[in-house]
Amino acid sequence: MTLGLLAALVLVLAIGGFILGRQRALSSAKGDLRKLHSLPGYYGQTVALFTAVPAFVLMAVWLFAQPALIETRVAKLLPGEEHLDLVMTDVRKIAEGLDLIVAQGYLSNKAISDMRADLSDIRSRMGDVGIALGSNVKPTVFEAAKSYRSLNHMGRIGMTVAVLAVALAGFASAFLRIQPEFRARNVSESFVKVLLIAASLVAIATTVGIVLSLVFETVHFFKIYPAADFFLSLTWNPQFGGGSDLGIWPLIWGTLYVSLIALAVAVPIGLFAAIYLAEYASKKLRAIAKPLLEILAGIPTIVYGLFALITVGPMLRDYFAQPLGLGTSSSSVMTAGLVMGIMIIPFVSSLSDDIINAVPQSLRDGSYGLGATQSETVKQVILPAALPGIVGAILLAASRAIGETMIVVLGAGAAAKLSMNPFEAMTTVTVKIVSQLTGDTEFASPETLVAFALGLTLFVFTLILNIVALVIVRKYREQYE
Amino acid sequence: MTLADMSHHRPSLYTQDARTKARNAAEKRFRIYGITAVTLGVLALIVLLTSVLGSGLGSFRQTMMTLPVTLDAAVLDKKGNRNPDEMAKATTITYGKVLAQALEAVVAEKGLAPEGMKAKEIGSLISKEAPAALRDMVLANPDLIGTTIEFNVLANGRIDGFFKGRVTMESAALDSNVSPAQLELAQALRDAGMLRLAFNWAFITNPDASELRPESAGLGVAILGSAYMMLIVLALALPIGVAASIYLEEFAPQNRFTDLIEVNIANLAAVPSIVFGILGLAVFINYAGLPQSSPLVGGLVLTLMTLPTIIIATRAALKAVPPSIKDAALGVGASKMQTIFHHLLPLALPGILTGTIIGLAQALGETAPLLLIGMVAFVKEYPAAPPEGFLDPAAALPVQVYNFTQRSDPAFIERASGAIIVLLVFLLAMNILAVLLRRRFERRW
């Protein structure tokens, strides 16, 4: 039974449960609604919830746990394989091919269980259904694939039976409890509350998922590539055939250089724009200019990337880099930095604007009363008062710049270099995550797994920046409230 | 200090002393810095938009030719029984020859060909995608065979580029794919009214096309894929986000655990998007075994990214409902759940929907995480209708832009900018909808 059908069946059961539960409540009260503890709908709701929710939870857990359980069992059938990950990929492919062979009617299930890799040509049969295998299939691998496939089938059948059983059990237990004294509203409301709590746990689950997947694969990476080389080497030179240099420093340098240029563009523009809009601009100008600047934050980053690629890059190359003899590449640190700077202007300006507006008017009045001009008030009273908040805003913008991907992918280039020349193509952590994970190298190689180590570095880096920024902003806000 | 001493420092109130002048000048400079900053920001926005719009508008107009094509039964249906299975033996190469002959006939009839131009050169004015289009049309309707039809064919990408200013006589002389003679012929055809620039619906509906056929590359698969993902995001993120917000806003006790959830949500909003892509790759594809480049995986990843936005907006909307309404509901005997679901939630709905639309708009433009879950793959088949289609390979609008930029033919840059225009139109529509919703339903208490 397909998943969709199973889910639909459970839903139908739940809807049926609602109708039947409501009717049973009504009939148990013998038409006198006042005898019921709750409104009749709540009896139906209770039955529906008890039918659907445990069944769906079981389904989700089963779908999540089944692959891992089956893979460990199948892996036991393959003792002494060196590259277990690769072999498992083959096993999965062959199992998929066998499914296709049965689905397209070439062979029956029975014929497949009799098939043996040393007797029949598996590879050409797989080719018939469009599964390409790199080499001939070893008998052990083929047996593993067969058991993988049958375990998967059993798992699917087991899940269908279990889910339906749980749904029916929930249905029955709720349905049989229905009588006029049954506190249906309280029960269903507690149930809903549990659901609400579960929904708010999704955020925690996401964070845990991020951390686990990053840490797990990073540990995997450091098992096959020395951590010292990763953190201390100054060359980044991945090779297809192995023997790569995967030092992180050129990437960190590129990331910091681009972010630095971006901040050098965004901080003055954003800060002065915020000051002007908060202190000087008329209401009308503010109503126009503020949303216009905020549009910059709403434009997808791919648009900025294309802007860097087709407009800013060639312009910088033709008018600055080439006449000055600094380089001939249109993708450069400067290109990416400038465009990224434009992107983060609103991050600086909006937050700073809020913070400047939060400075109490009494401070301004006091300063004007002493005879200070408006700009002196801004420089000597408002900015010092707003400084922690502004620093927080800048840190948030920096974290945004470090984690930005599309602009650097399209604007900064792919060459990992340690250079000071801003018109040279360099690369960043995020660019390399993309290129290592979208390439053709096999998943278990250090060249691919390094992306997870880079991801973890990026995650930790931005997390620290965010937390520091949030703490600063929050601490500052408390001063005036 | 006497009056005379003071007048020494300041001769008159009407003339400023040096220090006042300096202070006023500083004031003026400061003001100018501010205006410059605001102008620069707005200017950057204008330059950004005009650059993209300017280079992308061309993709909505495409060079087309209308040719009278004779579908000769002797060539296309050798057995003559109009059976589509047998007719399928005639490949696109055969249809290509039919089209080339049709064009040559027209050119010869009007005497348009420049001196010494070979027949092959004339034929290659036609897009390489056109024979396949003609073949599909004939196979779908075998009765066309034996008739002469007026068929709209796309011109080759270079010819199209010539009329959009991307290809010139000088560049054609250096280009192995097009010759100046072909451009002259194209100009002659245009003057004769055979060739025209028409609105390019195919750009919206066609699937992607290969490297050599920029003229027929379209966004159909990408728009469909993005739409599927938005459906998934809406179906998952809205209920989960609203449920989480209700718990945090109305039920959660003030304790460590609640704090942990809140910090988590704040952090998720600031995690770089590419990290979500790594999560999707590791958990949904490698661990759970969901298919690569499927809208389901993309939708799940974008759901996790959109949740914080929706939760923040929903909590703000719930907070904005005045406590008197809650008190009144509780006062007449409603349970807490009834108060929330019957009163608070409907009143907060406009705010929730606005936040959701803005979250969806962000998700629609997100590129980096989708690159990692295999959305970069070249997909030419439309995904099936949902729910099976959620597992079919598909593209996404922003990723399609990235794909176009990775190809060498400059015609794809125009396509990339065109795709961005489509993306921005969708985003604009969503944001306008959000603003209208807010205007129409927002209540001041």
Question: Does pLDDT of B70 surpass 70?
Answer: yes
Secondary structure E strands in B31-126: 61-70
Q: Dump the DSSP string for A54-67.
A: HHHHHHHHHHHHHH
**Residue A345: CB partners within 8 Å, gap ≥ 6?**
A265, A266, A269, A270, A273, A293, A296, B41, B44
Residue of B261, B265, B274 best to disrupt the A interface, most CBs of A under 10 A: B274
Q: Pick from B34, B371, B431: which is nearest to A280 by CB?
A: B34
**Residue A64: per-residue pLDDT:** 78
Say yes or no to pLDDT of B2 above 60.
Answer: no
Look at residues A159, A121, A158 and name the one whose alpha carbon lies nearest to residue A142. Answer: A121
Number of Cβ atoms within 10 Å of the Cβ of B364: 22
Q: How large is the average pLDDT for residues B256-282? A: 90
Q: Minimal Cα distance from A377: which residue of B? A: B27
Give the C-alpha separation, B195 to B190, whole Å.
Answer: 5
What residue has token string 């003071």?
Answer: B6
Alpha helices in B196-280 (DSSP H): 201-205, 220-246, 256-268, 273-279
Mean pLDDT lowest for which of A429-438, B90-99, B213-222?
A: B90-99
Residue B60, CB half-sphere, CA atoms under 13 Å: how many? 11
Length of chain B: 445
Q: Which two tokens mark B172?
A: 């054609």
Question: Cα(B393)–Cα(B31) distance, rounded to whole angstroms?
Answer: 55
Q: Residue B366: its chain A contacts at CB < 8 A?
A: 300
Q: How far apart are the first and last CA of chain B?
A: 62
Q: Give CB contacts under 8 A, 24+ apart, made by A238-243.
A: A238/A436, A238/A447, A238/A450, A239/A447, A240/A441, A240/A447, A242/A445, A242/A446
CA distance B231 to chain A (A): 16
Distances (CA, A) of B381 to B92, B213, B398: 18, 16, 18
Higher-pLDDT residue of A133, B310: B310
The DSSP code for B15 is S
The answer to whether B311 touches A206, Cβ cutoff 8 Å, is no
| The pair of three-digit structure tokens given for residue A264, joined into one six-digit string | 């050098």
Is the Cβ pair A296, B288 closer than 8 Å?
A: no
Tokens 């909006």 belong to which residue?
A350
Instruction: Give A300's contacts in chain B (Cβ within 8 Å).
Output: 364-367, 398, 423, 427
What DSSP string describes B417-445? HHHHHHHHHHHHHHHHHHHHHHHHH----
Kindly report the number of other CB atoms within 10 A of residue B427's CB atom: 20
**Which of A269, A207, A286 is CA-nearest to residue A459?**
A207
Please state, in angstroms and rounded to a whole number, the distance separating the CA atoms of residues A364 and A378: 8
**A214 contacts in chain B (CB < 8 Å):** 275, 278, 282
The pTM score is 0.87
Q: What is the mean pLDDT of residues B150-171?
A: 84
Q: Is any Cβ of chain A less than 8 angstroms from the Cβ of B235?
A: no
Contact A431, A458 (CB under 8 A): no
- Contact list in B for residue A346 (CB cut-off 8 A) is 41
Mutate to test the interface with B, among A302, A311, A399 (most CBs of B within 10 A): A302
d(CA A40, CA A34): 10
The domain spans of chain A are 3-210, 237-480
C-alpha to C-alpha distance for B107 and A58, rounded to whole angstroms: 70
Strands ordered across the beta sheet of B195-199:
B148-154, B61-70, B195-199
DSSP string for residues in A81-129: -S-HHHHHHHHHHHHHHHHHHHHTTSS-HHHHHH--TTTS-HHHHHHHT
Residue A119 C-alpha, separation from nearest chain B C-alpha, in angstroms: 31
Report the alpha-carbon angle B93-B94-B97, nearest 5: 90
Q: pLDDT tens digits for B319-337?
A: 999 999 999 999 999 999 9
By CB atoms closer than 10 A (0-12, 13-18, 19+), residue A41 is middle
- B56 falls in which pLDDT band (50, 70, 90)? confident
Q: Is the pLDDT score of B149 beyond 90?
A: no
A&B contacts, CB < 8 Å: 260
What is the C-alpha separation between A117 and A143, in angstroms, rounded? 8
What ipTM did this prediction achieve?
A: 0.89
Secondary structure of chain A: what % helix, strand, coil (to 5)?
75, 0, 20
pLDDT score recorded for residue B418 = 93
Q: In chain A, whose CA is at the least distance from the CA of B259?
A: A204
Nearest to A455, CA basis, from B214, B271, B427 = B271
pLDDT tens digits, one per residue of B6-34:
545 556 778 888 888 999 999 999 999 99
Tens digits of pLDDT across chain A (481 residues)? 677 888 899 999 999 999 999 999 988 888 788 888 888 889 999 999 999 999 999 998 888 788 778 878 887 777 766 666 667 777 877 887 787 777 777 777 777 777 776 666 677 777 666 666 766 677 778 888 888 888 888 888 999 999 999 999 999 999 998 888 889 899 999 999 999 999 999 988 999 999 999 999 999 899 988 888 888 888 888 887 777 788 899 999 999 999 999 999 999 999 999 999 999 999 999 999 999 998 998 899 999 999 999 999 999 999 988 888 888 888 899 999 999 999 999 999 998 998 898 889 999 999 999 999 999 999 999 999 888 889 988 998 999 999 999 999 999 888 888 888 889 889 999 999 998 888 766 777 888 889 999 999 999 999 999 888 888 877 766 566 5
Q: Measure the CA–CA gap between A349 and A351, rounded to whole angstroms.
A: 6
The pLDDT tens digits of the residues spanning B384-400 come to: 887 778 888 889 999 99
Quick one: closest CA in A to B239, which residue? A199
Q: Does B4 have pLDDT greater than 60? A: no
Give the residue from chain B lying closest to A62, CA to CA.
B288
Alpha-carbon gap: B93 to the closest alpha carbon of chain A (Å): 25
Helix (H, G, I), strand (E, B) or coil at B271: coil
B115: distance to nearest CA of chain A, Å? 38
pLDDT > 90? residue B229: yes
Q: How much of chain B exceeds pLDDT 70, in percent?
A: 97
pLDDT at B11: 66
Integer angstrom CA distances of residue B223 from B205, B361, B367, B401 = 9, 14, 14, 12
Interface of B with A in 19-78 (CB under 8 A): 23-24, 26-27, 29-31, 33-38, 40-42, 44-45, 47-48, 51-52, 55
Answer for the pair B403, B419: CB distance below 8 angstroms, yes or no.
no
Buried b / exposed e over A234-261, threshold 16 CB at 10 Å, is eebebeeeeebebbbbbbbbbbebbbeb
Q: How confident is the model at residue B163 (pLDDT cuts 50, 70, 90)?
A: confident
Report which of residues B144 and A240 the model is more confident about.
Answer: B144
Name the token pair of B220: 């159909």
b (16+ CB within 10 A) / e for B212-229: ebbbbbbbbbbbbbbbbb
Which CATH superfamily groups domain A237-480?
MetI-like (1.10.3720.10)
Task: Report how far residue B104's alpha carbon sits from residue B126's, in angstroms, rounded to the nearest whole number.
Answer: 11
Strands A236-237 and B148-154 come out as unpaired
Q: How far apart (Å, rounded) are the C-alpha atoms in residues B208 and B217?
A: 5
CA dihedral B96, B99, B103, B106 (to 10 degrees): 150
**Chain B residues close to A285, C-beta within 8 Å:** 38
Say how far residue A211 (Cα) sits from the centre of its chain: 11
In this complex, which of A289, A375, A467 lies closest to B26 when CB atoms are compared?
A375
Q: Chain centroid to CA B224: how far?
A: 11
Euclidean distance between CA atoms B45 and B25, whole angstroms: 30
Let me know if A369 is exposed, middle or buried by CB neighbors in 10 A (0-12, 13-18, 19+): exposed
What is the per-residue pLDDT for B379? 85
Interfacial B residues in 256-275 facing A (CB < 8 Å): 260-261, 264-268, 270-275
Which residue, A333, A339, A293, is CA-closest to A312?
A: A339
